[in-house]
Amino acid sequence: MFKNLIFSAVIAGIVAGLLLSALQQLQVVPIILEAETYEVAGEPVALAADGHSHSHSHSHDIEEEGWAPADGAERTGYTVLANVLGGIGFALLLTAAIQLKQRSGLRNGILWGLGGYAAFFVAPSLGLLPEIPGTVSADLADRQLWWGATVLATIIGLSLVIFAKSQLLRGVGLILLVVPHIVGAPLPAEHSSLAPEALTHSFFWATAIANGLFWAALGGVAGFMMQRLSSSDSRALQG
């Protein structure tokens, strides 16, 4: 059974990770590249002693930030690898939940995936929208803390609302779903972006659609694989 869980997670992670990578290349990356042109154009310009203006070089910033993959095939390859590995990690969580509740199959798997989408994307996005290059943000550590707390509260809250039999526990679940948003996400003193507002909206919807399809595929493939492998094991035992 454990082997089936791992195998299902790996297959689901590979399929969903490749799907997400393709969607990103088609929808998300072009928007990011366009936003980066505004980010570069909006950089401060220093006035040299000779009276000529010179834009700040990126080389020093890159050295301070550390290594990064080169644009093109290398950057795409690392993105695909990260998406697949991340997909396998998320799929392990889904297959564990599916096994715990004994609710496998394509339809149930998609529902599990949509639950993951709600917890890991929708709920955090209510406070912190996916950010396009050139956006002024709050402190990274504060954002990560709020994001993690929101994901955890949403997972527990949804689990209680859907599976708890006690009305009290369901009420606790509802409270957990709304508390992070009552507290509020950390925001900068003044929100601004170098990219046009229309591009920011396009980036959000492209990211939302890509992640939604990623989670639906992740759950669907995981649920389908677990059902098929479980059926095969049952037939083997009967034979």
Instruction: Please state the domain extents for the chain.
Output: 2-135+193-238
pLDDT tens per residue across span 22-41? 999 999 989 988 888 876 76
pLDDT band at 102 (very low <50, low <70, confident <90, very high): confident
Phi, psi of 235 (to 5 degrees): -65, -35
24, 30, 35, 41 alpha-carbon torsion, rounded to 10°: 140
Burial class, 148, CB count within 10 angstroms (exposed 0-12 / middle 13-18 / buried 19+): exposed
Average pLDDT for the chain? 84
Greater model confidence, 56 or 181: 181
Give the chain's radius of gyration (CA, Å): 22
Q: What tokens were used for 181?
A: 């948003």
Query: Residue 122 pLDDT > 80, yes or no?
Result: yes
CA-to-CA distance for 8 and 116, rounded, in angstroms?
17
Average pLDDT, integer, range 186-193: 78
Question: Could you report the per-residue pLDDT of 55-83, keeping only the tens digit for each?
Answer: 333 333 433 455 566 667 888 899 999 99
pTM of the model: 0.82
